[in-house]
Chain A
Amino acid sequence: MLLINRRKFLREGAMAGTAIAAATVLPFEATAAVTRQITILHTNDVHSRLDPFPMDGSRNQGLGGVAARAALINEIRNEADQVLLLDAGDIFQGTPYFNTYKGEPEIKAMTMMGYDAATMGNHDFDSGLENFALQLQHARFPILVCNYDFTATPMESMFQPYKIFQKGELKIGVLGVGIELKGLVPDNLYGKTVYLNPIEKANQTAELLRKKGCDMVICLSHLGDKYEDDTLSDEILAKESFDLDLIIGGHTHRFFTEPRKYRNRNGGEVVVNQVGWAGIQLGRLDYNFTGFRKKSLSNAHTVVIRKKTRE
């Protein structure tokens, strides 16, 4: 008995020694290939496009529509293990639905599709903050934005800077950033909303999410992907960030052919994606996670990106 126990101790001791050596020499060495998956589905700038584009011979005829999107989302939910459904803002404005119903069917549709979170775009201010807050009574998902100070506005108790989603064993932190309002949104529509520096607020919030043990930090952004001048963009945010893994973008209505990769200030990779506008596309990002011993986690990690092959 004693001998067996002693052998067991020695064997485990040797294994622990190997792990130490692996952690020292190969910081990326995984613990026996423990993998976890999450599927991120995303939209941006849907602009009240509840019905598909009309069949009028135009480029986008027949595309989009919440009923078809909902069916696709349900299909993906049936095959994927863990799903997060996110939107990067400008839910409102663009079809007569919004002029007539002020956003009620848009929010109801998102709730029915099971959106997990959205951020605010500049056009979500279009019928005033009071109306936006009012329409959120139909929402069963939070509005995430960490760089607008909504104190003393109707949004004061209707938003949160971030939310942590426990998806199986994965802890995913999601935060949101909004665009500069002055010169873009009429003063009377944003009222007392104070715009704060998105880079500073996103970095502070992301750091907090890491400290809370998030395995991944996602930023929903309505800044726009990039500009010819030095206007703040997702590209700049990605390069100036420390703890962001993924930026789901919007505002510039860009259809990315593939997600873009940037190096953050820790040397780690940040992925940015955007899927045009009007719900013409649904973006899908399937992340594979590998389990590591905590001490061997590196900030400068690399993510291998490839296009999904159609079955």
Chain B
Amino acid sequence: MRRNSPYTLLIIFFAVSCGTSYQATTLTYEGYRIEKSAAADSSLVKMLQPYAATLNITMNKVIGFSNSNLFAKQPESGLGNFMADAIKLMAEKKFGKKVDAGFVNQGGIRSYISKGNITVGKIFELMPFDNLVVLQELKGSILQQFLDKTAADGGWPVSVGVTMGIKNKKAIQVQIGGKAIDPEATYIIANSDYVANGGSDCEMLRRIPKQDKGYLMRDALIDYVTTFTKQGIPVDYTIENRVVYVVD
């Protein structure tokens, strides 16, 4: 019997120090699309109901009509042109001065406008951020740096009167108000405070003084749609070669 005790110890040693541990060996994956036809959970529907009811009173209000489906595309899109024009033209009205160019951060366009009625809620989805319209006075050389950044991103929306090409991630043949950009001239540009504060890596704008009137980008868009409606015309935008890719 005595001879067997080392074995016993060995077995006890195994039982204690070499217990079972788990390691992933196979993985099965699936991506479920959440379809409209799927069953809805009634407790979630019930939870949302009071929130939605109050919200819909404001958000379902129709403020205008779009003649076409407008989507965010690069280097240029009807949607982008509509938004950049809204920022420029509404800024001119609000600040009471001429603005040379208006811009919209491509990444800040969060939705689309489909053909048909434009509701307040649609504009909220398009521009959900509470960003303000701000004006900055800057040298043409700094404006060029900013446009180069937008070019490197694949193109951001620019307002009417601005045209540029994108080549090797740089802005080329830039025209502002029908004239070639002058590095020494001073320009007034309208942007969101997010971009003017250096957001989306626009460090070149960060230190330049900003004028703001507490005017939300979203309100500028709503006001711009309303100007069409007051004239009895629909919003009608398309691309018009404001920003183009240039190849050799």
Residues of A within 8 A of B (CB): 2, 6, 9, 12-13, 16, 19, 31, 34-36, 47-48, 50-52, 55-58, 61-72, 74-75, 93-101, 104-105, 108-109, 112-113, 126, 169-170, 183-187, 215-216, 245, 255-256, 258-259, 271, 273, 275, 279-295, 297-298, 301, 303-308
Contacts and interface: CB of A to CB of B under 8 A. Distances in A.
B20 A308 contact: no
B111 to A, nearest CB: 8
Given A289-B23, A306-B28, A294 B110 contact: no
B19 A68 contact: no
B116 A56 contact: yes
A297 B125 contact: no
Contact of B31 (A74, A170, A184, A275): A275
27 contacts: A16-B14, A52-B36, A58-B114, A63-B35, A65-B34, A67-B45, A71-B39, A94-B111, A94-B125, A96-B55, A100-B58, A104-B51, A109-B44, A112-B47, A184-B199, A184-B200, A283-B30, A284-B30, A286-B30, A291-B21, A293-B19, A304-B25, A305-B28, A306-B27, A306-B28, A307-B28, A308-B29
B18 A293 contact: yes
B40 A68 contact: yes
A13 B11 contact: yes
B231 interface: no
Contacts of A184: 199-200
Interface stretch (B1-9, B73-81, B93-101, B175-183): B1-9
Contacts of A170: 22
A295 B194 CA distance: 54
B121 interface: yes
Interface string B190-201: 000110011111
B26 A303 contact: yes
Nearest to A259: B29
B38 interface: yes
A113 B17 CA distance: 40
A112 B44 contact: yes
B203 interface: yes
A255 B31 CA distance: 9
Given A286-B29, A291-B22, 13 more contacts: A9-B4, A63-B34, A71-B41, A95-B124, A96-B58, A96-B124, A126-B129, A183-B199, A280-B34, A288-B24, A288-B27, A292-B22, A297-B23
B130 interface: yes
B197 to A, nearest CB: 6
Contacts of B194: 186
Give the most central of A68, A94, A305: most B CB within 10 Å. Answer: A68
B204 to A, nearest CB: 12
Given A56-B116, A290-B23, A295-B18, A70 B28 contact: no
B185 interface: no
B48 A68 contact: no
Given A97-B55, A284-B32, A306-B26, A294 B124 contact: no
B: interface residue count bin: 35 or more
B140 interface: no
A71 B35 CA distance: 11
Contacts, number: 231
B23 A301 contact: yes
Contacts of A256: 31
A186 B20 contact: no
B246 interface: no
Nearest to B131: A186
Given A68-B39, A282-B32, A287-B27, A109 B130 contact: no
A94 B127 CA distance: 8
Given A51-B48, A112-B47, A258-B29, A294 B21 contact: yes
Contact of A94 (B18, B38, B128, B130): B128
B69 interface: yes
B213 interface: no
Contacts of A35: 25
Given A108-B47, A288-B24, A291-B21, A63 B114 contact: no
Contacts of B114: 56-58
A105 B48 contact: yes
A95 B26 CA distance: 38
Nearest to A63: B34
B239 interface: no
B134 to A, nearest CB: 12
Interface in B198-236: 198-201, 203
Nearest to B123: A96
B197 A187 contact: yes
Interface string B41-54: 11111011001101
A65 B38 CA distance: 10
